[in-house]
Structure 1
Amino acid sequence: MKLTDQLGQEIINRLSRYIDVAINLMDPTGKIVASTDSARLNQIHGGAQRVIETLEAQQITKEISNQYSNTKPGVNLPIFHREELAGVVGLTGEPDQVFQAAGMTQASVEIALEQLYIQQQSFYQEKQWNHWFHRLISEGETEDLEKEARYSLRADLKKAWQVLIFQTPSPFDFAERLRIQAEQLQLSPLFILPFQENSVVMPLPFQEHIPSIKTDGPAAVGEPGYSAKGIYTSFQQASQTIKIAGKAGEMIYSGAFKVERLLSNIAKETYIEITAPYANRLNRLETPYLETLHSFFKNDFKMSRTADELHIHRNTLLYRLDQVHKKVGLDARNFKDAIILQAILINH
């Protein structure tokens, strides 16, 4: 990475708050690209050219300053980034008085270049993963994508993955917070990407227990799947689950909602044909009856467990189920009727 006009001036603006002598930044050709003295911009700095030739620091006294073009007494130091010359920094003044400040400036510029480089690499890689993931979910073809991940993105997909989906009103902000959490929890996500308008996607290598992750909305986990095809399938599972059962602040697992996912994928024409006679009646029921059905199915038709969860007497539960049967025409205690009831509730 080389010093540019824009980057150099930004660095100068920040450093000049703490250093009260003139500062110049030169590119690898010796041209002044940023300076506290705007009149010196775009001049070729003779002292910098000497640094570029020798790759060593140059202390220029008043007596020898006229040997170098456009050069004043001071100190000029090479700036390296990843073992390559990125430019030269120069501070004006008596060399003995400004040498320490020049060294600090040199270090600050090199740190700034490295941070910018890391940010650019991270941004570039995120764009690559974004493109890769959208191709995966739109095309469903995985062979070429596995090769791309291996050779271009340096990622080994030959393992089991689980995809986590988070719904959030601020996907870009949440993605940044999630990256911090993932690092703190020592997770190793394949990527963390804002997705569509209100979601963030994070594929994780499969592990028996996923640590608690702070969310600001519903979150779902797909079942583990192998390689790119597994990522695709796990994403679809998590997407279905979060639509069916997502609750704010709660992590839900698609494996616990297999029946619900199955029923939610019934062809629309078939669904309407079978449920139409009952759907309107069910939707007109008072809230306690709907809550009773949800609890009854969640507790696997167990009367005592359902009554306890609803904090009602068993006889009250029986009365409500009888009323549903009477008003809707379906008996929740009958297996086939229960399937139709669940289909209506899921797609409601």
Structure 2
Amino acid sequence: MELTEKLGQEIIRRLSKYIDVPINLMNPHGRIVASTDPTRLHQLHGGAKAVIESQQPNIITNGNADDFSNVKPGVNLPIFHHGELAGVVGLTGKPEDVMQAARMTQGSVEITLDQMRLQKEAFFQERQWNHWLQKLLQPAAVDTQELEGEAIYTLQVEIHKQWQVVVYQASSPYELAERLIPSLEYLNPLFILPYEDHSVVAALPAQQPLTIESEADVLTGVGEPGYSLDGLRQSYQQASEAIELAGVHGEVVYSSSLKTERLMNHIDAAVYEEIATEYILRLNELEDSYVETLHCFFDNNLKMNVTANDLHIHRNTLIYRLDQLSKKTGLDPRRFKDAIILKTILLKESL
């Protein structure tokens, strides 16, 4: 990386607030790319040429100024980046007066170049991870051998382990990812990456129990442990489905607690429509209190007393409602087979 005009001008703009002497920044060819004196831009600087040839500091005094073209007394120092000459910094004035400021400017520029390199590397690595994640989680079949090769040789990670995927859904996934990284670092995640337009996906080493916290405005689903690439894909699908089935903002939903719901969710659509349509129509004609009763009855594992207490009604009132449900829908929620149909409808229709 070498000193460019755009970068040089930004550095000059910032440093000139603290250093009250003329500053020039030259590229590796000795041409001034930034200066506190705009009239000197794009000129060749003889002192910088001497630095480039020797890769050593060049001190210019009144006594030797005539030995170099287009110079004034001052100090010219090399700027190195990764062992290569990236440019030259020059400060005008008595060498003994400006040397310290010149050293500070030299260090500031080198630090800036290092930070830019690290940012570019981080950006490039994030793009590699995002590209890999897109291929891993695509709905179609994946090229396992290709993904394994990229993981090992490009991303330099070991994927042949047990992983558990956490999916977060939020309106600002990039901001959420930045907040999540510090809080999940201790778990040694494989990755924490924004995915698509509204999600953050985190792959964590499988451990029992895995305790995850959520934020108030975030939907969070946790998949079950899985091995290597296939396990990552499956755990991601489970976590996403957990959010779809039971996601509540601010709460964490574990796929392992939704096995019945997941099974019902994958019933063949044509078969479901054939069986459920007439019952859906009847349920839609009921008052809200009946549907609420159904939900509570199933949530309490068909226990009459617990359901009545939760609804704050007398047991006889509950029995009356269940009798009416049976009469009006043709399905009795107290019978196992009928309860399965009703529970499936409640799940799939979000009644």
Q: TM-score, normalised by structure 2?
A: 0.90
Distance of 2:62 and 2:295 partners within structure 1? 87
**1:286 equivalent in structure 2:** 287
Q: Is residue 105 of structure 2 the alignment partner of residue 105 of structure 1?
A: yes
- The alpha-carbon deviation at position 278 of structure 1 amounts to 0.6
**1:121 equivalent in structure 2:** 121
**1:265 equivalent in structure 2:** 266
Specify whether residues 189 and 34 from structure 1 end up closer, same or farther in structure 2 by C-alpha distance, changes over 3 A only.
farther
- The alpha-carbon deviation at position 140 of structure 1 amounts to 3.1
Q: Is the 8 A contact 2:220 2:243 kept in 1?
A: yes
- The alpha-carbon deviation at position 150 of structure 1 amounts to 0.9
Q: Is the 8 A contact 1:166 1:215 kept in 2?
A: no
Stretches of structure 2 lacking an aligned partner (at least 5 in a row) = none
CA offset digits 1:214-252 (Å, max 9, x no partner): 352211111111111111111111111111111111111
More displaced, 144-153 or 201-210? Answer: 201-210
Distance of 2:47 and 2:313 partners within structure 1? 88
| 2:164 alignment partner, SS class | strand
**1:297 equivalent in structure 2:** 298
Distance of 2:91 and 2:177 partners within structure 1? 41
Alignment of 1:80-91 (within 5 A): 80-91=80-91
**1:144 equivalent in structure 2:** 146
- Supply the RMSD in Å over aligned alpha carbons: 2.2
CA offset digits 1:148-199 (Å, max 9, x no partner): 111111121111111211111122222222234334xx24333333222222
Q: Is the 8 A contact 1:61 1:95 kept in 2?
A: yes
Q: Which amino acid aligns with 1:108?
A: S
Distance of 2:317 and 2:57 partners within structure 1? 89
Distance of 2:35 and 2:286 partners within structure 1? 75
Q: Is the 8 A contact 1:74 1:90 kept in 2?
A: yes
Q: Which amino acid aligns with 2:340?
A: I
**2:347 equivalent in structure 1:** 346
Specify whether residues 38 and 273 from structure 1 end up closer, same or farther in structure 2 by C-alpha distance, changes over 3 A only.
same
**1:52 equivalent in structure 2:** 52
Alignment of 1:315-326 (within 5 A): 315-326=316-327
Distance of 1:307 and 1:263 partners within structure 2? 27
Aligned residues: 346
Specify whether residues 57 and 266 from structure 1 end up closer, same or farther in structure 2 by C-alpha distance, changes over 3 A only.
same
**1:20 equivalent in structure 2:** 20
Specify whether residues 236 and 66 from structure 1 end up closer, same or farther in structure 2 by C-alpha distance, changes over 3 A only.
same
Specify whether residues 278 and 26 from structure 1 end up closer, same or farther in structure 2 by C-alpha distance, changes over 3 A only.
same
Specify whether residues 289 and 91 from structure 1 end up closer, same or farther in structure 2 by C-alpha distance, changes over 3 A only.
farther
Q: Is the 8 A contact 1:126 1:191 kept in 2?
A: no
Stretches of structure 1 lacking an aligned partner (at least 5 in a row) = none
Q: Is the 8 A contact 2:214 2:250 kept in 1?
A: no
Distance of 2:190 and 2:131 partners within structure 1? 14
More displaced, 209-218 or 147-156? Answer: 209-218
Specify whether residues 110 and 273 from structure 1 end up closer, same or farther in structure 2 by C-alpha distance, changes over 3 A only.
same
Q: Is the 8 A contact 1:181 1:213 kept in 2?
A: no
**1:96 equivalent in structure 2:** 96
**1:68 equivalent in structure 2:** 68
Q: Is the 8 A contact 1:140 1:232 kept in 2?
A: no
Q: Which amino acid aligns with 2:169?
A: Q
Q: Is the 8 A contact 2:214 2:251 kept in 1?
A: no
CA offset digits 1:265-304 (Å, max 9, x no partner): 2222111011101112223333333333333333333344
| 2:72 alignment partner, SS class | coil
Specify whether residues 182 and 105 from structure 1 end up closer, same or farther in structure 2 by C-alpha distance, changes over 3 A only.
farther
Q: Is the 8 A contact 2:165 2:223 kept in 1?
A: yes
Distance of 1:229 and 1:243 partners within structure 2? 21
**1:194 equivalent in structure 2:** 194
